[in-house]
Every structure is written in C-alpha cells, then in structure tokens.
Structure 1
Amino acid sequence: MSSLNTPPTPPGRPAPVLLLDGLTRVHGSGATEVHALRGIDLAVYPGELVAVMGPSGSGKSSLLTLAGGLDAPTSGRVVVEGTDLTAASRKQVAALRRRSIGYVFQDYNLIPALTAAENVALPRELDGTGSRTARREAIALLAEMGLEQLADRFPDEMSGGQQQRVAVARALVGDRRLVLADEPTGALDSETGEAVLALLRNRCDAGAACVLVTHEARFASWADRVVSVRDGSVVDITLRPSADPLLTGGTAQ
C-alpha cells in the first residue's frame, strides 16, 4: 500500500483543504476486479498546486473524481474543508461541490443548451447568487480567458480549445477553495495552455488548493509538488525547491 505519509497539520499551518486518507477504489469483483486506487494518502493545503502524473490507467482520474465527490471510495476518507464526503449525505456533498469545488472535466461537460456565459454562471446561480451578479462574474472570467466575445455562443459554435477554456472558467467562478483539473490543457496550444496554468497558479496564490492531472512535464512545472502514480499507488513525490518542505513531512523525494 503506497502512502504519502502525510504528517499531522504542523502548528501555525492552516488545515488542508483536501485530505485523502487511506483511499482505495475497487471496480468489479472476482475475476473482473480492478484496483483503481490502493491506499492513497494526500493532503493539499491552501495556496498549494499539486500535479498528479502517471501513465494511462494509473488512477489519476479516479483520484480526481473521488476528491470531487463524483464517486465514492471503496474504503478510506475524502475530507474537503473539514467535511467528510464519505459520511455526508448526497445533498450535503452537492452543496459543497457547488460552493467550494471547481472541477475541470477532460471532456468539458458543458451544457449544450446554455451559452458560454450561462455555463460559467450556472454554479453561482445554483448556489443562490443573483443572475446579474453571476453573469458579471462569468463575463469577467471569460475575458481573462480571452473569450469575452464568445459569451453568447453555444458550445457547438465553439472550437474544442474554446470549450475547454470555458470549462476552466466555470471551475474558477466564485470563491472556490478547491480546484480539480483533469487535463485542462489537452485541447490547447502551448501558449494558451501556459495562460490557463497561470490562472490556476494565481488562484492558488490567492489561497485556493488546486490538484492538476496532466501528462505534460512543462505544465507540471507550475506545481509545488508533483505526485507520480502507477497502478493506483504513489511511486514518487517531487517537491519544487521553493515549496514548503513540511508538505512532504520534511523531505523532498
């Protein structure tokens, strides 16, 4: 069983925004049983960007869907801002996801019947923000993405790269304390990909916790830690030289 050996929260450090504790996920049973995750421990703190890398089928996306409350673990805990998602009701998990978790899906997951601005504003409106305020926030984020002129276009009127940037904007709208991004640069050229990573980095520097799944080392270089997974287990941790050594228990592996 692999573990990051996440230490207790040191004195003076805020509690982690995301805590994965002994996380396992098994699909199927018997001859068809597949272990997607094998006892993962991970704490992600405010202001930290963690990149998760590994080959296809290593468990990267499973880790992200569990962290975002989109799936339930076979065993272990997922704690977001002090709330144990594995013990919370579906209503509580849904409310926490609307309020605190931004998720960038690999396949964008935009609603076809809504415009770009409406897709971005939707999480804020569902959480009770007025439609004018939500639209204003959405337009501002789309402008940061260089997409303000596409605010009133529908997803099928946009390219894949444009849809991906809209999906990133939706994940960042509002005061999201945890941002989970599954290959958010996959359909983007290098320059636009770097711009998206800069936005994620800025959100972390403002106090959010971010987990980025990527296969691109140049994008992982924006992270404070790079966690390498294989066959559902953590096999390596790389700590950025300027990052806090307490994040890996005092050692950069």
Structure 2
Amino acid sequence: MNKIRLLTAASILALPFAAQVQATEINLAGGDEHSCNVDIHQQITVGRDFMETRDEDDNQPLFAYHAPDQLAVGDTGLILDRRQQELMQSYQQGLHTAGRQVSEIAVEAMDIAMNGVGIALAVLAGPDSADTQEFLQSSEALREKLLAQTKKQGDVYTFGSPWVDDVFGETFERELEPQIEKLAAKSAGNIAWHAMKAVFTGGASIERDAEAAAEAAEAEVEKKAERLEARADALCLQLQALDELEVKLHQAIPALQGMELITMK
C-alpha cells in the first residue's frame, strides 16, 4: 500500500523523505507526538466542483458527482435533493481541500529541509558567496515548480495514485540531489579556505562558524516545523470529520452504501 508521510521536526531534515510521499494511505505526524492514519480505498479524482471515483483494482468507474445535484452511480443517474446536495458538496469540498493541503504541506516540508541546507551553506561558505546565492535562488525556483507540479490544470487532485510521489521523487533524483552534490563540490574550496584561516586563530573561527550554523539552522527549522505540525494537526481533524461525514452521506444516499472511500485508523 502506498503512503503519504508528512514528517516534521527533526526528521524533516531528511531530504529523501520526498521520495516516500504517495497517496493511497495518508500518515500525518503533527505536534506533541500526535499522528493520524487514513486509508484511501479507491482512486478519487476531485476538483473544485466535481469528484470521480474508480475501482482501485480494475479502474472501472464507481460514481461521479458534479455540483450541485448530479450524481451517477455506475450507469444510473440520480438528481440529489437539498439534504443530499449539502452532504455531497461538503464531502467533495473537504476532499478537494485535503488534496490541496497534502500538496502544500509536502512542499513546505521540502522547503524547510532546503532552508536548513541554505543556512549551513551561508555560514560555512559565506552569505555573499556566489554558491550560496545560487543555491538560495535555485531553492525558491524549485519550490514554486514543485507546488505547480503537484496540481493538475484546474486545481485537480487524485488520491489513490502516486501523484505526489511522482513529482517529489523524480524531482529529487533529477534536480535536487545533483544540485546539492554540485554545490558541495564547488563550495569545498571556500570551506577549506575558512578552515585554513581557522588554523591561524587556533581553530576558534571555524568552531564559532560551525556553532553559529547549527544554532541558526536549528532555530529557523524548528520555527517553521512548528507551523507545519500545526497544519498537519488541522488536516488530521479535517480527515476525521470527512470519515464521519462519509457515514452520513451513505445513510442519505443508499446508492453509495458499500462504497467506502476513506477510513481513519
């Protein structure tokens, strides 16, 4: 089973985390060791005013909804009454918001990791170093690219397929990893020069720089990680509400009974 792993705090600095992000099981780690796990049972495509579901095994259509009142279950078309519309729209909008938030949280997690690398590079190689400036500029461009790629045209998201994993895993292997290796190699001369200067100061300057790098990175990353944990906690609550709403939806629309899409664990 595929997984979304949105890890925060110390583990956020593990850049390969992005290659683990997928979308048929959502695992969220928030603050105070709070976490939630949600199974996605079918393939769900959701946009601003519609959602479609397909069987996760044979890809056959299960049901499709178009706001505000059109529902097709298999080959049967239904017109929803007011109560059914309210429930269905709340469910569809909730899934759409969750899809957007999963993308944004994943991008923010990557951004935090990149920020930590940038801070360390700035202290060790120098804030005005061409390598540092190149890395910071490339990081921002990559962040915007990742955010754009996690969305399809029209702000559409698909649960039950590795849409986030495809973007983050491929981008990490193709762009991020080689870039960090390149910058590390290019910066080696500058860092070696700082180290050589430290010899003439008894090693004090390089030690101070290392301590400053660690303290600055830790403070900045922890501050951002706390905000990320709060977002993860909020998303957990939203997913729990959707799980409960799904029960009411099945009660109100008998044709959907047995088509469980999400389950809190």
Structures share fold, TM-score greater than 0.5: no
- TM-score, normalised relative to structure 2: 0.23
The structure with the largest helix share of the pair is: 2
Question: If you compute each CA radius of gyration, which structure gives the higher value, 1 or 2?
Answer: 2
Between Structure 1 and Structure 2, the one with more strand by share is 1
